[in-house]
Amino acid sequence: MKKILMLLTVVFFMASSCTENFEEINTNRTAVTVPEPGQLFNRIVTTPVFDYQRNVNLYADFYAQYWSNTVGGFESGRYEYVDGWAFTGWNHFFVDGLANIKSLQRIYGNDPFYNNLIQVLEIWEVSEWARMLAYYGDLPYFEIDFASKVPYDSERDIYYDLFERLNNAVNALDSSAADQFIMSSDQDLIYGWDLDKWKRFGNSMRLRLAMRISNVDPAKAQSEAVAAINAGVMQSNGDVAHIPAWVNGFYDYLRNMAILWDNIRCSKTFIDMMYSQTSMEDPRARIWFDYKESSPMFGSERLEGVENGYNILPADANDFATMNTNTTYIGFTGDDGEIDHYQPVMLYPEVLFLQAEAALRGWTGGDPTALMQEGVRASMEFVGVDPVAANNYISELSPLSGSNEEQLKQLITQKYISNFPNGREAWVDFRRTDYPDLTLPIDGVSSSSSVSPDTYVKRIRYPDNAFNTEQDMLPADQNTIDTNRMDNRLWWDTADSKTKSGGLMNSNF
């Protein structure tokens, strides 16, 4: 697999907008005219990992409070926006990942021999749109053609279309067809061209998106969730969707930031949850985290994290817990061979927690407590926890009890822990449900941000480039620098955390 990735010609597009001048910027006179499907697919599925620090860690990872900043002058933890950071993710999606997907669809989409390839591309494209929607809200979608400016479409309309596309793609995938293109297993970096796993991923993504809209459109959410579960979602950790990164590459992923660069430390919020759920330390904690040997806290009985949102950092910030340099967690160690690490797209435990929430909402007949416990157990297994330690921890977890809101808070808290290190989805869950209990920046929301004081950040603003090139296409309520705020709630984010009473919302059921 490494050889294929290294041989792939990499073309970075410098665009003035996501939709203008595509033909010009996408012209490379030395490139092969017709790309081979597997090599371009290889590039497509690795696009989400580009510039991880600037795209994810400095935003979603901090907002989800898995990690905390330890670099003076980095103010994203206090909700400041830096266009040079966030724009890279926008650019990678539109002029790299999406453009490459559309290229394969254009070249091979009308040939029945490539039906399965096109359906897999559909499933992956939907997951990528879902990732972008969770950051920005309304996006240019239905009319996008890479040749002209097009209107931004509503989240609702896009989500409805994504559901239909997932359903159609999963139903059209035919793993038994003998007359279909077969991608070599080392070119499909996600599932090795196991089409049954692609189907389960597609259904699981449908379930994720259904739950995302549960508070704003509960009837549609229930219909899609039940259909997804009945069609067949992930069945084990063997179905996990994660992106491999090679040992010979450069990645600004968590190990570099946490250990080599000392840019981040574990968030106090997350670390404290490792100790508050039972009488024991969560057995995943020491696999994920430890102190550096140079820290005066090395060897301490308890791990301690750094508060989120400092303006002036404590002098000892980097003495606190960081990634365990001797971790055995596959997400941080890879396969101890060619793969350096994996970056999560969707973990199997998340799917169990989604099913638990569907049962709690009365959409399915499952047992929410049993599904929650399965989710924790699956996480322990994936992380590499000793089965005895896992059993001891799970046996101490309280069954879901109390009001629906109380049960949901307990469920989402366990999901939050088990979904680490997927900060993107943890931030989605917090905005959707206002659980678990996160904290506002310790030194307050920055006055240089577009977030009101004592308010949680709700989205990433559109990049400056959008205003320079397609301001007339932007949503009417966010088409100026002043109205393009990061405390504007997305369509599915229906409530304000300030309405919590006794630690509970009154908006999720």
Flag whether pLDDT at 294 surpasses 90.
yes
**Six-digit token pair at 176?**
């038994």
Beta-ladder partners of 69: 264
426: containing domain? 2-156+237-272+320-493
pLDDT 10s digits, 318-368? 999 999 999 999 999 998 888 989 999 999 999 999 999 999 999 999 999
Please give the average per-residue pLDDT across 199-217, as a whole number.
Answer: 98
Does any domain span residue 313? no
Distance of CA 321 to the CA centre of its chain: 23
What is residue 447's predicted lDDT score, i.e. its pLDDT?
A: 96
**Is residue 124 within 8 Å of 105, Cβ to Cβ?**
no
CATH number of the domain that residue 54 is part of: 1.25.40.390
Q: Mean of the per-residue pLDDT values for the chain?
A: 92
**pLDDT above 90 (res 272):** yes
**Cα(326)–Cα(72) distance, rounded to whole angstroms?**
27
Q: For residue 501, what are the β-bridge partners?
A: 504
- Residue 429 located in a structural domain: yes
**pLDDT tens, residue by residue, 220-259:** 999 999 999 999 999 999 999 999 988 777 778 999 999 9
* Tokens encoding 140: 């240019």
Domain total of the chain? 1
**Which residues, including other chains, have CB under 8 Å from residue 75's CB and lie 6 or more apart?**
311, 446, 448, 449
What pLDDT is attached to residue 481? 86
Residue 165 in any domain: the answer is no
Amino acid at 350: E
Say which residue the tokens 């919302």 belong to. 505
Gap between the Cα atoms of 229 and 210, Å rounded: 11
Whether 203 is in a domain gets the answer no
Among 77-86, 200-209, 229-238, the least confident range: 77-86
Residue 201 lies in a domain: no
With respect to residue 101, please indicate whether it lies within any of the assigned structural domains: yes
- Determine the pLDDT at residue 200: 98
> Is residue 476 included in any domain, yes or no?
yes
pTM value is 0.93
